[in-house]
Amino acid sequence: MSQKKITDEKIVEKYISHTETNKSDSWAYDVTRSCNRFLEWCQEERFVNFDSVDSTVIVDYVTYLKDEGYADSSISKYLGCVRGMLIYADRRDWIDIEYDEDARTGLYTERIDVSYQAEKSKQDEEEVYYLDKEQVQDIIDASDSIRDRLLIKLLYQTGIRAGEASRIRLEDIDRDEQKIKIRTEKTESLETRPVYYQSNLEPLLYDWLDMGQRVACTNAPIERDEGHLLVTRQRDWMGAEKVNKIVINRAEDAGIQKVRYVDKQGNDRKRVTAHTLRHTFACHRILKEYGGGMPIRFLQKLLGHSKIETTEKYLVVRESDVKEAYFDYLP
CATH number reported for the structural domain that contains residue 202 in this entry: 1.10.443.10
Question: Is 137 in the same domain as 118?
Answer: no
Alpha-carbon 121 to chain mean position: 18
Residue 208 lies in a domain: yes
Q: What pLDDT, on the 0 to 100 scale, is given for residue 123?
A: 47
The domain of 91 spans: 1-124
Q: What pLDDT, on the 0 to 100 scale, is given for residue 24?
A: 67
The domain total for the chain is 2
42 exposure class (CB count in 10 Å sphere: 0-12, 13-18, 19+): buried
Q: What pLDDT, on the 0 to 100 scale, is given for residue 211?
A: 95
Are the beta carbons of 105 and 112 closer than 8 angstroms? Answer: yes
Q: Where is the domain boundary, 87, 104, 124? A: 124
Minimal CA–CA distance to 69: which of 310, 301, 312, 282? 310
Q: What pLDDT, on the 0 to 100 scale, is given for residue 125?
A: 45
Indicate the helix (H) or strand (E) that contains 192. Answer: strand 190-196
Q: What pLDDT, on the 0 to 100 scale, is given for residue 293?
A: 81
Q: Where is the domain boundary, 101, 124, 147? A: 124
Residue 323 lies in a domain: no
Question: Is 226 in the same domain as 118?
Answer: no
Residue 214 lies in a domain: yes
Residue 324 lies in a domain: no
Q: What pLDDT, on the 0 to 100 scale, is given for residue 247?
A: 95
Question: Is 257 in the same domain as 115?
Answer: no
Q: Where is the domain boundary, 124, 143, 158? A: 124
Residue 257 lies in a domain: yes
234 exposure class (CB count in 10 Å sphere: 0-12, 13-18, 19+): exposed
Question: Is 174 in the same domain as 103?
Answer: no
Are the beta carbons of 146 and 81 closer than 8 angstroms? Answer: no
pTM of the model: 0.69
Residue 19 lies in a domain: yes
Taking the C-alpha atoms of residue 319 and residue 205, their distance in angstroms, rounded to an integer, is 38
Residue 329 lies in a domain: no
Question: Is 145 in the same domain as 289?
Answer: yes
Question: Is 176 in the same domain as 280?
Answer: yes
Question: Is 95 in the same domain as 153?
Answer: no
Question: Is 114 in the same domain as 231?
Answer: no
Q: What pLDDT, on the 0 to 100 scale, is given for residue 74?
A: 83
Question: Is 283 in the same domain as 151?
Answer: yes
- Which CA distances in Å does 210 have to 28, 157, 206, 207? 38, 21, 5, 6
Question: Is 107 in the same domain as 155?
Answer: no
Question: Is 293 in the same domain as 146?
Answer: yes
* Domain CATH for 103: 1.10.150.130
Q: What pLDDT, on the 0 to 100 scale, is given for residue 168?
A: 94
Residue 118 lies in a domain: yes
The three-state secondary structure class of 268 is: strand
| DSSP type of residue 2 | P
Question: Is 309 in the same domain as 168?
Answer: yes
Q: What pLDDT, on the 0 to 100 scale, is given for residue 157?
A: 96
Predicted confidence pLDDT, tens digits, the chain (331 residues):
445 568 888 899 899 888 877 666 677 788 888 898 898 888 777 778 888 888 778 888 887 787 666 778 888 888 888 988 998 998 888 988 877 766 666 666 555 666 655 444 444 445 678 999 999 999 999 999 999 999 999 999 999 988 889 889 999 999 999 999 998 754 434 578 999 999 999 999 999 999 999 999 988 887 777 899 999 988 888 888 789 889 999 999 999 998 887 655 566 778 899 989 999 999 999 887 777 788 889 999 999 887 788 888 777 655 666 676 677 666 6
